Amino acid sequence: MKALLFICHGTRLAKGRMEAEEFVRLCMAQVDVPIKEICFLELAEPSIAQGFERCIQKGATSISVIPVFLLSANHIKIDIPKELQHLQNKFPGVDVNYGRAFGVHGAISHLLWEKITKSRVNLRKNTQILLVGRGSTDQDVKRDLEAIASNVQNHYGIPSIQACFLTGSEPSFEKALWSSSESYEQVIVVPYLLFSGLLINGMKHTITRYQQQTAQNVALCDTLGYHPILKDVLLTRINETLETKKYAFS
């Protein structure tokens, strides 16, 4: 019997967990698979092991694992595959297919443009847009977010957009924000984060400190949240994984 196991990152904030679960359940409703479970990599329960075992308890003989992550970093490439390998060793009779993160998908440009236009800031040549990712020591994350920023700029003719990061990659969000004060009159900050959490709270504190020391206008967009475009991208990744004929963790 087939099962889908969705892995979200997890957060200590109840609001963030609820947002993630609501988004995944909306996608679940459009997939005809008998067993569907949600779990978290860290900071929330059920854990990956708990979610995996719930699938087995319900009769799963084949589990398609869907990482609900925007970009492929060490969590996707190392942490989750390591846990899945351990679980498959524990349950050798279960087939496991591992899907892909959202990644660089053309449709996401339209979602980001929507976030930018909803910031209620009039775009001018002296407007800087900062696309802010979580960040990672994995250089693929830097490359992919820069590609997404480039896609938005090319599609909508944005004068200036820069990818920056909260941790692990350069330039940092704080450095990019301060650099913008030298050449731009206003900044639009677009968090490339799925849901609410401690990271977005930290960004708000950084912006507050920055505005206390400069006269620059800074608009912070909402996180990506549930959106029909993201739902469609996730459904694409689900269908890809369900069509996989053999176990693969990469």
Cβ burial, residue 27 (10 Å; 0-12/13-18/19+): buried
pLDDT tens, 122-177? 777 889 999 999 988 888 999 999 999 999 999 999 889 999 999 989 999 999 99
135 and 69 in one domain? no
Contact indicator for 38, 50 with CB cutoff of 8 Å: no
Residues 14 and 55 in one domain: yes
- Looking at the fold, whether 125 and 76 belong to one and the same domain comes out as no
Say if residue 39 is in the same domain as residue 137: no
- CATH number of the structural domain spanning residue 130: 3.40.50.1400
In terms of domains, do 94 and 162 share one? no
How far, in Å, CA of 164 to CA of 176, rounded? 7
pLDDT at 245: 62
Whether residue 117 is found in the same domain as residue 212: yes
Residue 250 lies in a domain: no
Q: Are residues 64 and 117 in the same domain?
A: no
What pLDDT does 35 receive? 97
Q: How far apart are CA 218 and CA 243, in angstroms?
A: 45
Question: Same domain, yes or no, for 37 and 126?
Answer: no
- For residue 145, the model assigns a pLDDT of 96
User: Do 195 and 120 belong to one domain?
Assistant: yes
CA distances from 10 to 71, 207, 215 (A): 15, 24, 36
Check whether residue 150 and residue 212 sit in a common domain.
yes
Full residue range of the structural domain in which residue 214 is found: 108-220
- Rounded distance between C-alpha atoms, residue 101 and residue 193, angstroms: 13
> pLDDT of 76-91, one tens digit each?
999 999 999 999 999 9
What's the CA gap between 233 and 101, in Å, rounded?
Answer: 10
The answer as to whether 200 is a domain residue is: yes
Q: Which residues of the chain have pLDDT under 50?
A: 248-250
Q: Is 62 left (phi over 0), alpha (psi -120 to 50) or beta?
A: beta
Distance CA 231, CA 63 (A): 21
pLDDT at 250: 42
Residues 95 and 51 in one domain: yes
Residue 249 lies in a domain: no
Residue 122 lies in a domain: yes
8 and 66 inside one domain: yes
State the total domains in the chain.
2
